[in-house]
Structures are given as structure tokens and as C-alpha cells.
Chain A
Amino acid sequence: MKQQISRRAFLKGSVTAACSAVAGPSLARAAKALEEKVPLATLLDISKCIGCEECVYACQESNADKYPNPEKPFPKMYPDRVPVMDWSDKRDVTDRLTPYNWLYIQSATVEIDGVEQELSIPRRCMHCTNPPCVKLCPWGASKQLNNGISRIDSDICMGGSKCKAVCPWHIPQRQTGVGLYLDILPAFAGNGVMYKCDRCYDRIAKGEMPACIDACPENVQTIGPREEIIQQAHDLAREMNGYIYGEMENGGTNTIYVSPVPFETLNKAIGTGKNTPHLSSVEDKMATGNNLARAMLLAPLAGTAAAVAKLYQLSKKEEK
């Protein structure tokens, strides 16, 4: 920890000026996107990330007032299988996603041009263009804003963790002992509140950059209208002969990674685990339902046609 702080201090001192210089165009593009009400997207150039965790600490600092403060002891929940998820005593964990850590750095040791290198990958919510966490939340607690940001309303969320189950990357994290469920039936329904990156929607609304982008000494991330970011990602991928992740995954996301190595290789290198968001390809999770919805338009026609067919048969019978 000591080493991290001194490195942070060093990086802060040496690159603040550089950060401010490059934040300008990004901020202008984000403001333009907000004005035009088009989705905002971020581009993450993995080749630039040095894994300093500056973004992680900036995220924690900026969002500290949104973190849960659960009251203990937690109400007894029934049946016994309902898991208590308590991260309130482990707030300084930064090596995975928790209700108190919405962004973390994954490491991958890979070979580039025959040389072994370690790549660092900032991981957080992908902010899907059609987010299952938002669309399938049974209470409307998970919301998508006009600018494409998805966020969980901690005043409404019951902590059922459905958003985590339907998220292709299982991003949201639960904290027991907080939220609306305590005022309803804490023993029998709900289990806290789900937390995840809200891409600093409040800072963006004020015309500021998300904290992680603002703090990055290497300018790993840029933010802007999705179409422009996609174009920029393709240009960058062409330049570095690299690969793109997030453009097509789950039908498209607002977080676009560009890497010098294939994402299949990165995915193998980051390992697997229950709380390790993967980097494998993801089909559009909402597609089956939405295709059925299109087919549903035929249902009134089918019902009407059946009634008309019956009438026709009856009139034929009557004629005979």
C-alpha cells in the first residue's frame, strides 16, 4: 500500500499538466454529445495502461458519498440459503469489483512480437447500449440515461441481484443491510442494494469528466459521442494492428477496448473465476426476446384470421 501511495503521488505530480491538456477535447466532445442527446462512449487503449490504479482511487474518492453505510446487525433473512454479502469491513479491496470498488485493474501476461509483456486492463461496467440489467430489472431500479449511462438507483433497488445474474460480465455487486428492503419485509424479500459504475453521471451532468478519465496519467480513456468513439477505435486498431472489444459484444456497448493482442489471448491470460469479468465474445442477450417480440406482432392477425376462418366455415355449412 505504501508503495502505491508514493507511486500515486509521483504520478499525480508529474502528469497533472499533461492530463489537463488532453482532457479539453474529450470534455468538449462529451458536452457536445450531451447537448445532442446522443450516447456517450469511452475508448480504452489497453496498450497505454500502466496499471497504476490512479483511476481506481479517483473512482473511490469521487463516489465515496454513494457507497453504502449498512447498519449492523443485519436483519435475519429467510430461508437460510439467502446469502449475506457484506463488504463494509473490506472497503479498501481494490483487486476486484465490490460495492465499494466499481473499477479495478486486470493484469494479463502475454507475448507481443515474441516479447513477454504485462498488459493492464481497467474493468468496470460496460454500459451496454441495450443493457439487460436495466431492461430486466423487475422494479425499474436500474436505469439507462439519455446519454447511454446505466446506473442503479440505490433508493429503489431491493438487492435481488437479478442484474448481476443477467449481466454478461456479472458486474453489479451486492451489499446487504442497506436500502428499501429494510422498510418492507427484510426477512422475506430483498437483500440490500446492488452497486456498480455509474460513469460519474453526476459529474457528467455538471459538465465534468468521469473521475477515472480525469485522473489517468496515461490518457488511457477518451470519452465522446459513440459514433465518433467507434471511428476512433477503428483508426487506433488500424494504427497498432490491434483488436476491438465492446463494439459488438452484447449487441454493442458504450465501452470500447482496443488491444495490441487478440482478446481471446487476453481472456485466457486474465484467468477465470466467479468474480473475474471475462473478455470473451458475447451474443446479444436481449435478441431472443426482441425477436419474439417482433413475431408477437403476428398474434393479433393470427387470432383474427382464425375467427374469420371459423365464420367462413360456418357460412359455408349454412349454405349447404
Chain B
Amino acid sequence: MTSGQRLIQYTYRLTLLFLTLTGFGQMPIFKRYYIADIPGLAWLAQFYVTHALHYFFAALLIALVFYSGFDYLFERKKQHQISVPGIIKSIFLGLLIVSGGLMVMKNFTGTPFSPMMISMLDLTHMMLCMGLLFYSLYTAMVDKRWVYIP
């Protein structure tokens, strides 16, 4: 793995960590369960802060996904093949970005979505996030990489 790829990997992991923290921070749980009382974590209970940070890290994730996707198509595909776990995680990421994008649209004035669709989006986005996290944990445990050398 090149130093550039390692940087991408660390940035991806850090982005996922902050997206998860700020995403779960949209629910009023960090104050209730004393997590926001831990020095340095008070911001987790400030809803407007976690909301803005979630957007920031979402932008970073989208940029990473586009970079990695095109980098694979332009260059890495010559020597590597995307693995099945890589495809599954890509699908999770794609659906997270689409559902998240719709939720971002919903937050502008005059959203066209019905209340029922908004509830469905909220739940879908959260379930996808948990699905990606658990699947990523599994692939890390069994050492399944995104790509392999055919």
C-alpha cells in the first residue's frame, strides 16, 4: 500500500467515525448517557454543532468516494479487482450518500417530501449506517480487503 493509499484509508476511517458520532448525536442520547460529560465531548450534545459537523464529514466522504471510484477506474483497475466485500460496502456507501442527500434536500425550506417519507428516510439512513459499520467490522475481523490482485 502506498503512502497516498494509506492516507486515504485513515481519512476514510476517521470520516466514518465522525459521521457515526455526529449521526447518532442527532438523537438526544449523548447527554442522557453522560457521554457529553466526558471532557472534550460536550459538543456531542449540541445539536446544531453535530448537524454542521455531520454535513462537513459527509462532504469529505463524498469526495473520498468519488476520488477512490475514479482512481480505481483510471488506474488501480489495471492491477487490482474489486472484491465482493468491496462491492457490498460500495453499495452501502452509495445508498447512504443517496439517502443522506435526500435528507439534506429535506432540510431546505419547502421540501416536497411527505412526513411519512421523511420518517422512512430517517430510519433507512440509520439502518444503512449500522449495516455498513457491522459489515466493515466483519470484513476487518476476517481480513477481507476492498480489492485483490487477480
Contacts and interface: CB of A to CB of B under 8 A. Distances in A.
Interface in A161-210: 161-162, 165-166, 189
Size class of the contact patch on chain B: 35 or more
B32 A79 contact: yes
Interface stretch (B70-78, B132-140, B141-149): B70-78
A214 to B, nearest CB: 26
A138 B63 contact: no
A123 to B, nearest CB: 23
B59 A307 contact: no
A250 to B, nearest CB: 11
A260 interface: no
A303 B55 contact: no
A314 interface: yes
B59 A286 contact: no
Interface in B100-134: 104, 106-111, 115-116, 118-122
Interface string B4-43: 1000000000000000000000111100111000000000
A295 B48 CA distance: 17
Nearest to B28: A160
Given A130-B109, A165-B28, A308-B70, A296 B55 contact: yes
Q: Among A153, A285, A300, which residue has the most Cβ atoms of chain B within 10 A?
A: A300
B26 A307 contact: no
Interface in B54-89: 55-56, 58-60, 62-71, 74-75
A296 B34 CA distance: 32
B52 interface: yes
Given A81-B32, A160-B27, A162-B47, A296 B104 contact: yes
A153 to B, nearest CB: 7
Contacts, number: 120
Contacts of A306: 63, 67
Contacts of A161: 28
Contacts of B115: 140, 143-144, 153
Interface string A276-302: 000000000110111011011011101
B143 to A, nearest CB: 27
A288 B52 contact: yes
A149 to B, nearest CB: 12
Given A140-B118, A153-B115, A156-B119, A304 B62 contact: no
A62 to B, nearest CB: 22
Contacts of B55: 289, 292-293, 296
B118 to A, nearest CB: 4
B122 A310 contact: no
B56 A140 contact: no
A162 B47 CA distance: 8
B74 A311 contact: yes
B108 A136 contact: no
Contact of A79 (B34, B67, B116): B34
A10 interface: no
Contacts of A308: 70, 74
Nearest to A145: B115
Given A160-B27, A288-B52, A310 B71 contact: yes
B63 A300 contact: yes
A96 interface: no
Nearest to A286: B107
B63 A307 contact: no
Contact of B47 (A139, A166, A311): A166
B2 to A, nearest CB: 11
B119 A304 contact: no
Contacts of B69: 303, 307
10 contacts: A79-B33, A162-B27, A166-B47, A252-B109, A290-B108, A295-B59, A299-B63, A307-B66, A308-B74, A310-B74
Interface of A: 79, 81-82, 129-130, 135-136, 138-141, 143-144, 153, 156, 160-162, 165-166, 189, 251-252, 285-286, 288-290, 292-293, 295-296, 298-300, 302-304, 306-308, 310-311, 314
Given A295-B59, A308-B74, 8 more contacts: A136-B51, A139-B122, A144-B115, A162-B47, A299-B63, A304-B67, A308-B70, A310-B74
List 3 tightest A-B contacts by C-beta distance, closest first.
Answer: A303-B66, A140-B119, A307-B70
